[in-house]
A and B are shown apart, each in its own frame.
Chain A
């Protein structure tokens, strides 16, 4: 059963800024649907008690003071400048 139709493929191609030929386009609904069904296996796992986990480190509130660092910018005849390395 195909869950992804031609219109959706076209829509995704547009969002991803991809040019896809008509020929290729015909293959994608089936291929992408298969991939999706495979990944859908994960749905069998009960995750109702698992919290969201977008961030994998314990780091919080990482900020820098508002100071300009000249050497971060193009600051020499169109070049970025780093500390001499050789």
Chain B
């Protein structure tokens, strides 16, 4: 009996957080707004309205490509992609076909699933416009064009994944990168980051791509991505073992049932009748333009991890500290006021939530102290007496107040006490 290996590629859409839309200076702040109020002649596709590209959106799209180690096309253009759907007012989407801004990149990460270094090839990173939003309502579908024309970056990977764990980890790390670049909130629930995996199976040991693939849409969390892929892999396996080939199609993920459902037979690429967008002159970028974008590059999460590790932080702690932009910024600020030799221990305290991002508190915790136990008992008694209300809340279960008491006692001890010891005595007296 033969076994199968999944072959998974990803198409990821990221909405850019520009102020204005991709091809008009209509506001791009569409989320939660009254339907069809954040629209203009261009985003509604009114006859005669002419698109003018948003410079910032182009710079940010190229920046994402650079962060994913892509090459850049010096000559590029936009193209029209044609299809009829009610969320697309012009009957075509302005996208990029054969000259995307970025192509041929890669991203590497240490797989939590296999422990191995995983390299994923990035096929292309291009820029396009988002479509309107459809709300299905009984026999009708309601169309809101507020989202139409918002800049959308499409990132396409090669089919280099063979398990759903790696997909989930890659998506989480990609989201972190996008957020570090400060070009999008990349929020799956709000739809500013969207994912369409394409999945097929081949026999173990084979290297040719299977003769079919299934695309899954309507996935709005990383966990659902994993579950949808796992569901598909199992479904394909059963079909293949019965001698059938799964149909080439688009399926939608139903999160309440945890299954995928056939949506439509996929149109062939040629059916989109791509041709160069005649209303937007082409681009011929010079080195100065790319240099300007490279200067916008931020320190990326994996670079930050390396810097922290070089300063004595453990690999695991460094990884955890670099998962969100604000947290890592706070840790960076903290580093300025810590001596080099305690950085590793400080990181561990912060990661394990023993202490907040407070240099003085960290130093106090790490400083070995001679504690005057007699004085400590006196101070603790006084603090307990003076803060009766907090003591009651603590005894009723609000344990987070412990740090408040520690602070009060440390103040009373003028910092001359071992924090560990202070906690022990406090816990005893607060029983």
A-to-B contact residues, CB < 8 Å: 15, 17, 54-55, 57, 59-70, 72-74, 80
Contact = CB atoms under 8 A, between A and B. Distances in A.
A17 B26 contact: no
B18 A66 contact: yes
A66 B55 contact: yes
Interface string B43-77: 00000000011111110000000000000000001
Contacts of A67: 19-20, 25
B43 to A, nearest CB: 9
A68 B29 CA distance: 10
18 contacts: A59-B281, A61-B281, A63-B53, A63-B58, A64-B25, A65-B55, A65-B56, A66-B19, A66-B20, A66-B54, A66-B55, A66-B57, A67-B25, A72-B41, A72-B42, A73-B26, A73-B27, A73-B39
Interface of B: 18-20, 24-28, 36-42, 52-58, 77, 82, 84, 271, 273, 275-276, 278, 280-285
Nearest to A63: B55
Contact of A64 (B54, B273, B275, B278): B54
Nearest to B60: A66
Contacts of B57: 66
B25 A69 contact: yes
Nearest to A52: B276
A60 B285 CA distance: 9
A70 B77 CA distance: 28
Contacts, number: 77
Interface centre among B40, B57, B275 (most CB of A within 10 A): B40
A59 B82 CA distance: 25
Nearest to A59: B281
A60 B271 CA distance: 29
Contacts of A64: 25, 52-55
A57 B52 CA distance: 15
A72 B284 CA distance: 29
B301 to A, nearest CB: 26
A57 B279 CA distance: 11
Given A54-B276, A68-B19, A80-B40, A60 B284 contact: yes
